[in-house]
Copies of this chain bind each other. A is one copy, B any other.
Amino acid sequence: MNLKTLSEHLGLSPTTVSRALNGYSDVARETRERVERAASELGYRPNANAKRLATGRSSIIGVSFPTGRNMLVDPHFIDFLAGLSEEAAALDHDILISAIKDDVGEAYKRMAAKGTVDALVLLGLHLNNDVLELMQGLKLPFIVHGRIPSDFAYAYLDIDNHGALVQATRLMLQLGHTRIANLDGPVNQSFSKARAEGWREALQGAGITPEPAYLRHGQMTEENGYIFARELMALPTPPTALICSSVIMASGVYRACRELGLSIGSDVSVMAHDDDLPLFYPERMDPPLTVTRSPIRAAGCEMARMVINLINGASIQDCQQVWPVDLIFRASTAPPISKPGSAVGGAEKNS
């Protein structure tokens, strides 16, 4: 069943049928209804590829990432994708996932030239990545999850990573901690850098010199949380407060503390940034985990809307958002306890 057949069946021209189906206003009401009825009865669906060729639009949004570090194993990425695809579906768009084998830049050029997708969602961009310049040169609209330094404007949605760590660090400071560690994400990711800077500035604002040994970078896995915590607690002067970049990391920290016989929420305070991932529930941890929070899935939803706006001609300036994060206080954070032999304590908290 194609347009020609349908129009012959109706005794109308393909032109009119097409216009009726696409909601043009200059079609007689009666004609439109007749066409719509016939189309639905006969199960007519316009051939997507013909439509794409004729209009130059595919209603497909591309999401690509290098095969090497396959992001499909990262729950953060997945949950983002869940939000993106759900909202895209609600807006009649599909998501094309393309795992790129080798040269990312080359792959982007290819996608742009082939015309399979109307826009690209860029994820997990590294700092000092030339991919923005490259995309700038292509005619393909794109939006970035996160922000990286650039000479020109581009569409993005980011959370306030800097502010998250400022909030987290200040909370620890207010509780009386001075030895505050930051178990941060990968060193080459912009969100990790922003978080490290927030941590540094909050400490300096309180007159404390950030201790380099208290800043650790790495993939946000349970394993790394465990390793970092073990190493930090083995320092001559271990931190009393640990801020983790993810709840998954924090669960590794919890494991390390259990092994070391450290009581979380008294011997040591722990908090994390919570992307609200399914399967990881900070409120159910023992003790419940204090977090800064911003659902990554909601970011995916919003980015679907934004990228579709972009395709429809929205200005780049209207497609730039930075989301604040919430701070949710739970039992994993408390004033430090002063132990015999500990150089810095929370004496003022005992008054």
Contact = CB atoms under 8 A, between A and B. Distances in A.
Interface of A: 1, 43-50, 52-53, 58, 60, 67, 70, 72-73, 75, 78-79, 81-82, 85-86, 88-90, 94-101, 109-110, 113-116, 221-222, 248, 278-279
Contact of A48 (B46, B73, B89, B115): B115
A42 to B, nearest CB: 11
- Shortest beta-carbon contacts, A-B, top 4: A45-B113, A72-B82, A49-B52, A48-B114
A66 to B, nearest CB: 10
A89 B98 contact: yes
Contact of A72 (B52, B58, B79, B115): B79
Nearest to A92: B101
A49 B115 contact: yes
A32 B96 CA distance: 32
Contacts of A95: 96-98
Contacts of A94: 96-98, 116
Nearest to A222: B279
B45 A49 contact: no
A45 B86 contact: no
B96 A90 contact: no
A205 to B, nearest CB: 36
Contacts of A109: 43, 45
A84 B283 CA distance: 34
A73 B115 contact: no
A280 B324 CA distance: 32
A96 B60 contact: yes
Given A50-B53, A88-B99, A90-B101, 18 more contacts: A1-B113, A43-B113, A48-B115, A49-B52, A49-B58, A49-B116, A52-B52, A60-B96, A60-B116, A70-B82, A72-B79, A85-B99, A86-B99, A89-B101, A94-B97, A95-B97, A221-B279, A248-B279
Given A53-B50, A73-B79, A222-B279, A97 B114 contact: no
Contacts of A79: 72-73
A114 B47 contact: yes
A313 to B, nearest CB: 20
Contact of A96 (B46, B49, B96): B96
A129 B116 CA distance: 33
Contacts of A58: 49
